[in-house]
Structure 1
Amino acid sequence: MNSEILVNITPMETRVALVENGAAQELFIERTQARGIVGNIYLGKAVRVLPGMQAAFVDIGLDRAAFIHASDIDTDNETPKPINQLVYEGQALLVQVIKDPIGTKGARLTAQLSVPARYLVYMPETAHLGISQKIENEEERGRLRQLVQQLQEELEIVGGGFILRTAAEGIGEAELRADMAYLKRLWGALKEKMKKQKAPSNIYEDLPLYLRVARDMVRPDVEKIRIDSRENFQNTIDFVRKYNPEVEPVLEYYPGERPIFDLFGVEDELERALSRKVELKSGGYLIVEQTEAMATIDVNTGGFVGHRNLEETIFKTNLEAATAIVRQLRLRNLGGIIIIDFIDMEDPEHRRQVLRMFEKLLERDHAKTKVTGVSELGLVEMTRKRTRESLEQVMTETCSTCGGRGRIKTAQTTCYEIFREILREERAYNNGSYLVLAAQTVVDRLLDEESASVADLEIFIGKPIKFQVEPMYHPDQFDVVLM
């Protein structure tokens, strides 16, 4: 599978697209005024301890207090101690962000700190050596484990532990030594900084997105990283020469006049990823709905009728949908609980094949996923780890017209509400005439389809009713004014 990473940088934001076989699969956006804070380390202050929830709120200097659970403080025990034995109000805590603030929820924290490099993650508070599960060869795992233990002694790194990242597979002693020496220097500098700070304060901030790409996203199948900013391309070159020089050959400056996201079709993919409806090549389609509690995906056959029978049509649509759904999960960065309603299939073998294919495709996802199976109603239930806001949360806001419902009242409904409001006003005040201010579509209906009802109402109350179009009003907004 051929992969490229496209990096589009402006003063306002950085956008990154992972393109596989010519199609965008993942999108990352970091805005200058609202950078993500996952990985940042803070000296925070506990502001509220909640025994009932076994958690505490911690002030880390943001608008909303962050949240930490007892299990993220007392990590040594399967059953953590009660929260009020671990934290007290006003206590200073050294914490790290593991989830960005999302919606109305504050950031999620842990007391188990870690700082990453290209091949290793250093955990200063935990004496543990872990290896990425994606490194499956037992001989390689043993080689890496032995090498890390040897280097830890040579570099006199006392205490703490390491996690070997997927990128460490096959690398030699020199690369691991460089990573480990860098992490030792970095942690030493952070410890000195901690001594001088008062809570709440920022102790460590992760790299900007375009540098994290060079550190975290380069895998053997990545053929190019194209960066459209000369200055940041040079910054990336300087960074990789210092920390992971093997990445330099895949870096490329893109000087073209045509925007890089336009050239590779990513801009169009971005727009489609914000739509509820996803068209399938067969004529079927998906409907993607995202709420605060969960995301739901509904599969429909649409105009696809197949060549043999209905069961074949449904089976083929579901197979195509499985591929499209996995891509949409990654593109939109949907997380939490996800419910998928594939089209009902009579053949048990068809159901098994669709589910197996879906699970196989999810293996490419870098976010942790878990399919819990098919419910009694035939729904596929799954979870996907959420560490940052979805594309929709980053790029959109709640509609001021519909209030997030996704639907607005019809002009007919608004007309009947206007009639009821006039009757209400007449009972309360019983004087003057009435002027109705409403949107164009509502006034048009009042003067056309509802004109007979308006005439009847004027006779009933014995007063004239006038109408005025307000261009700024949306279809379910109106005012009734006494004249």
Structure 2
Amino acid sequence: MSEEILINVTPSETRAAVIENGVLQEVYIERTSSRGIVGNIYCGKVVRVLPGMQAAFVDIGLEKASFIHASDIVGRSEKLSAADKGEELNIRDLVHDGQRLYVQVVKDPLGTKGARVTTQLSVSSRYLVYMPQSDHIGISQRIDDVDERNRLKELVNAGIAVVDSESGQVESDNKSGGGFIVRTVAEGIGEAEILADIQFLKRLWQTLERKMPETKASKPVYEDLPLAIRVLRDMVRSEVERIRIDSTETFQKAAEFCHDFVPDILNKIEHYRGERPIFDLYSVESEIQKGLERKVSLKSGGYLIIDQTEALTTIDVNTGAFVGHRNLEETIFKTNLEAAACLARQLRVRNLGGMIIIDFIDMKDEEHRRQLLRTLNKVLDKDHAKTAISTVSELGLVQMTRKRTRESLEHVLCVSCPACHGRGALKSAETVCYEIFREILREARAYDKSDFLVLAEQSVIDRLLDEDADSVADLAEFIDASIRFQVEAMYNQEQFDVVLL
């Protein structure tokens, strides 16, 4: 398996694409006018406490106030203590209106909702996440080997002891020195890299601590790295062979960052100077366009239908033109297996999150159901986002969740249709004509004798003058008034006006 990362930079937008064996797997888009804010730390101001929801709204300087739950305000040890005693956390005991609160964004504003924030602050490096308010040392769940997990934990403990001794702190089982989470990319690294990251994160946090009291309310204390550098820090694993960047300035910044913090990937960075746009190398542009379509074709002839709503995403699997070679059950099973692999990639490319319902084709064989579930779990293992999957129901439905921290591809690139307002369908010309008839009758009853002018879109006017011409004549005779028509080029098919002359 070979992986490449392509980074396309323009003054207004940065895009990063993860390519695996020549096929797009993930795409990230960050615009200068609307950068993602996950990971940013703000000096917030509590603007409203909601006891009924055990939550509060916090102003962090955005258009919409951010949302924080009581469980995200207290520290980990306090939560565990309250849970052990069977006590419920009371938001009024934790915050009050007007209070300054240092918060970190864990979820970008999505749709009509504001950002989700927490007071459990953390800062990240290449291999570690530092949690200054915790004393816990954790290892990424994606590192399965028990010996490797123990080795990494020992390295972190040793590194903390070295840093504390250098700073003159007395060793105290890490009760006051903060906690760490070892990231997946740390698997197999040595003592020097762990120590360097611990030193960097401790220095960074000391700088932020000095900055916090000086920061005004609703202003940022710390902003995460821009997308191009963040990709180098978070996404470059051993499988990645090359990182191509088409901007000279960004390439130089990336090289400096790698030289200082991740020298082991410095030789993988390339400055792309080709005349052909970098996203055309592996048809990334066309794949992005396909990622906005509702229908996804499978190689066998089957297809998926993906519908995204505010509450959840549904994925319907169909056999389509695939008729198989042996029997119906085998055809259905093969289609479902292919669909599982395809939809896992679509979730990553489209960045679909939240609740996802997958309607696989119903299978009678229990072993086939188990194999399908194993396949789905396997193809989702490589997903950076956390996923959870239920069993296959009697109806062939699989319910799953995928952690969502940023907007989906569709919401980043598209706006709701101004004609149908997101319904995905327009009223037919026939339906609009009958609405016009009713409106004319309504106006004729409300006002004394008047003539009428109907303003509407071309297809509606054509129908009024053709198929419904007899109905128009009957209506004009019934209300004893003339009815004229005028095409409005700027109207969509559902828009019309009835004007009294």
Establish whether TM, by shorter chain, passes 0.5: yes
TM-score (norm 2): 0.94
Deviation string 1:62-92 (CA, Å, 9 cap, x unpaired) is 1111111111112322335311111111111
* 2:362–2:395 contact (8 Å) kept in structure 1: no
> 3-state SS of the aligned residue for 1:399?
coil
> 3-state SS of the aligned residue for 1:27?
strand
Aligned to 1:16: 16
Aligned to 2:43: 43
Picking from 76, 94, 105, the partner of 2:102 is 94
Between 1:165-174 and 1:26-35, the stretch displaced more is 165-174
Between 1:428-437 and 1:262-271, the stretch displaced more is 428-437
Aligned to 2:172: none
AA in 1 matched with 2:270:
E
CA–CA distance in 2 between the matches of 1:64 and 1:462?
54
AA in 1 matched with 2:109:
P
TM-score (norm 1): 0.98
Say if 2:384 is the partner of 1:391: no
Aligned to 1:118: 126
Picking from 424, 435, 444, the partner of 1:417 is 435
AA in 1 matched with 2:440:
I
* 1:434–1:466 contact (8 Å) kept in structure 2: yes
Per-residue deviation, 1:377: 3.4
Per-residue deviation, 1:376: 4.6
Say if 2:322 is the partner of 1:314: no
Per-residue deviation, 1:52: 1.0
CA–CA distance in 1 between the matches of 2:73 and 2:479?
70
Deviation string 1:340-378 (CA, Å, 9 cap, x unpaired) is 111122222222222221121111111000002233533
* 1:124–1:161 contact (8 Å) kept in structure 2: yes
Picking from 442, 455, 459, the partner of 2:477 is 459
* 1:285–1:300 contact (8 Å) kept in structure 2: yes
* 2:40–2:220 contact (8 Å) kept in structure 1: yes
Say if 2:37 is the partner of 1:31: no
Per-residue deviation, 1:310: 2.7
> 3-state SS of the aligned residue for 1:223?
strand
* 2:444–2:450 contact (8 Å) kept in structure 1: no
Aligned to 2:352: 334
Picking from 257, 271, 280, the partner of 2:275 is 257
Between 1:100-109 and 1:134-143, the stretch displaced more is 134-143
Aligned to 1:162: 180
* 1:6–1:261 contact (8 Å) kept in structure 2: yes
Question: For this pair of structures, how many residues does the alignment match?
Answer: 483
AA in 1 matched with 2:313:
A
Aligned to 1:434: 452
* 1:4–1:224 contact (8 Å) kept in structure 2: yes
Deviation string 1:307-328 (CA, Å, 9 cap, x unpaired) is 2333232222211111111111
CA–CA distance in 1 between the matches of 2:500 and 2:50?
53
Per-residue deviation, 1:94: 1.1
Deviation string 1:12-64 (CA, Å, 9 cap, x unpaired) is 11011111111101110000010000000111111111111111111111111
Say if 2:493 is the partner of 1:478: no
CA–CA distance in 2 between the matches of 1:63 and 1:24?
34
Per-residue deviation, 1:198: 2.4
AA in 2 matched with 1:474:
N
CA–CA distance in 2 between the matches of 1:18 and 1:44?
35
Say if 2:246 is the partner of 1:228: yes
Aligned to 1:358: 376
* 1:373–1:382 contact (8 Å) kept in structure 2: no
Say if 2:340 is the partner of 1:304: no
CA–CA distance in 1 between the matches of 2:16 and 2:329?
40
CA–CA distance in 2 between the matches of 1:16 and 1:325?
21
Say if 2:156 is the partner of 1:148: yes
Q: What 5-or-longer segments of structure 1 have no aligned partner? A: none
AA in 2 matched with 1:204:
Y
* 2:245–2:270 contact (8 Å) kept in structure 1: yes
AA in 2 matched with 1:83:
I
* 1:36–1:100 contact (8 Å) kept in structure 2: yes
CA–CA distance in 2 between the matches of 1:281 and 1:445?
42
Aligned to 1:292: 310
Deviation string 1:441-474 (CA, Å, 9 cap, x unpaired) is 1111111111121122122222221111111111
AA in 2 matched with 1:122:
Y
Between 1:399-408 and 1:302-311, the stretch displaced more is 302-311
* 1:118–1:244 contact (8 Å) kept in structure 2: yes
Per-residue deviation, 1:153: 1.4
Deviation string 1:148-189 (CA, Å, 9 cap, x unpaired) is 111211111752111111111111111112111111111111
Aligned to 1:213: 231
CA–CA distance in 1 between the matches of 2:64 and 2:204?
29
Aligned to 2:146: 138
